[in-house]
């Protein structure tokens, strides 16, 4: 377990998730013997053992609630088991509860996580709506700490997959802008290392998206092209054959955003750039 600050601790909960990560970061936020648990992992026995051990190491605080930043199972799959063990209600946004249900997963028992202020053990927390990776992702902002629990809007060692149908690149970029406007001292990502230089890190994230945007638009300049062909051009040498369908979904994320902005046209599943644009 990592001590992030006097009032925030992090457990690495073994979970099935996208490589290169093998664990979900769960965070304990609170003080004076009261905490909330954020993102309990996917619910495997090994993950629940980790949570139990770390909770004992923290001195068995009262767990007031279990929050899930978003519905993906590496974050919400363990909510019910953690809620049962700690005798705590478990929360997920309304939009992401609908996603869980749409995937045929059990969305029963979740309370609704709403944006707004809350206080836990004397820690002031603002729940922020930050969609884009999923339709209803919530992030936790602690202004006194300058700390942000970013769910999967930020990952510690890689960029984030934004792919339809869950992902919406336009909304994701708007969320990144909102997060970057906070007076951040650190970011606790959903997976990977704590981010200790948030302004530079988010700057790199936005530069990466912009670079990818330019690259795909350039490939759409001359001819009608399929998402698969684009993915093979963009991710050649970066993704192997098995991962290329994920690459194709990421390209589709860009194309949906471009279509929305009127930058590309679509005809029979092929795309082409229609007009010049700038990024203002």
Nearest distance from residue 13's CB to Zn ion, in Å? 11
Nearer to Zn ion, 15 or 213 (CB): 15
Report the relative pairing of strands 264-267 and 186-188 from DSSP bridges. Answer: unpaired
| Closest residue by Cα to residue 205 from 260, 133, 143, 128 | 133
Cα maximum dimension of the chain: 63
Nearer to Zn ion, 25 or 213 (CB): 25
Q: What would the x/- binding string for Zn ion be over residues 33 to 72, using CB under 5 A?
A: ----------------------------------------
Task: Work out whether 152 is an interface residue with Zn ion (CB under 5 A).
Answer: yes
Nearer to Zn ion, 160 or 255 (CB): 160
Nearest distance from residue 174's CB to Zn ion, in Å? 20
Element (H, E) at 14: strand 8-14
Task: Work out whether 30 is an interface residue with Zn ion (CB under 5 A).
Answer: no
Taking the C-alpha atoms of residue 169 and residue 138, their distance in angstroms, rounded to an integer, is: 16
Nearer to Zn ion, 43 or 190 (CB): 190
Residues between 183 and 222 that touch Zn ion (CB under 5 A):
190
Interface size with Zn ion, residues (CB under 5 A): 3
Taking the C-alpha atoms of residue 151 and residue 189, their distance in angstroms, rounded to an integer, is: 6
Taking the C-alpha atoms of residue 155 and residue 23, their distance in angstroms, rounded to an integer, is: 12
Nearer to Zn ion, 19 or 104 (CB): 19
- 118 in helix, strand or coil? strand
Nearest distance from residue 69's CB to Zn ion, in Å? 8
Nearest distance from residue 153's CB to Zn ion, in Å? 10
Taking the C-alpha atoms of residue 201 and residue 173, their distance in angstroms, rounded to an integer, is: 14
Residues between 68 and 127 that touch Zn ion (CB under 5 A):
74
Residue 52 CA, distance from chain mean position = 24
Taking the C-alpha atoms of residue 214 and residue 125, their distance in angstroms, rounded to an integer, is: 37
Nearest distance from residue 151's CB to Zn ion, in Å? 7
What token pair was written down for 115?
Answer: 């944006």
Binding site for Zn ion (CB under 5 A): 74, 152, 190
């Amino acid at each position: 377990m990592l001590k992030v600050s006097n009032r925030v601790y992090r457990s690495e909960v073994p979970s099935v998730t996208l490589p290169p990560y093998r664990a979900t970061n769960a965070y304990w936020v609170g003080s004076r013997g009261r905490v909330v648990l954020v993102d309990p992992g996917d619910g495997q026995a090994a993950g629940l053992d980790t949570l139990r051990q770390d909770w004992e190491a923290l001195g068995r605080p009262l767990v007031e609630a279990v929050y899930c930043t978003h519905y993906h199972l590496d974050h919400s799959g363990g909510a019910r088991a953690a809620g049962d063990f700690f005798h705590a209600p478990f929360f997920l946004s309304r939009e992401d509860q609908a996603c869980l249900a749409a995937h045929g997963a059990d969305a029963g028992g979740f309370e609704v996580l709403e944006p707004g202020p809350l206080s836990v053990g004397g820690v002031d927390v603002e729940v922020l709506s930050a969609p884009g990776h999923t339709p209803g992702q919530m992030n936790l902002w602690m202004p006194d700490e300058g700390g942000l629990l970013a769910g999967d809007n930020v990952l510690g060692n890689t960029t984030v997959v934004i792919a339809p149908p869950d992902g919406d690149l336009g909304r994701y970029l708007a969320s990144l802008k909102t997060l970057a406007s906070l007076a951040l001292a650190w970011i606790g990502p959903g997976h990977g290392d704590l981010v200790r230089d948030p302004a530079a890190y988010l700057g790199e994230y936005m530069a990466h998206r912009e670079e990818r945007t330019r690259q795909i638009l350039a490939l759409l300049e001359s001819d009608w092209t399929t998402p698969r062909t684009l993915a093979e051009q963009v991710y050649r040498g970066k993704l192997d054959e098995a991962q290329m369908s994920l690459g194709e979904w990421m390209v589709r994320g860009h194309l949906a955003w471009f279509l929305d902005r009127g930058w590309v046209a679509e005809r029979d599943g092929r795309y082409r750039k229609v007009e010049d644009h700038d990024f203002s």
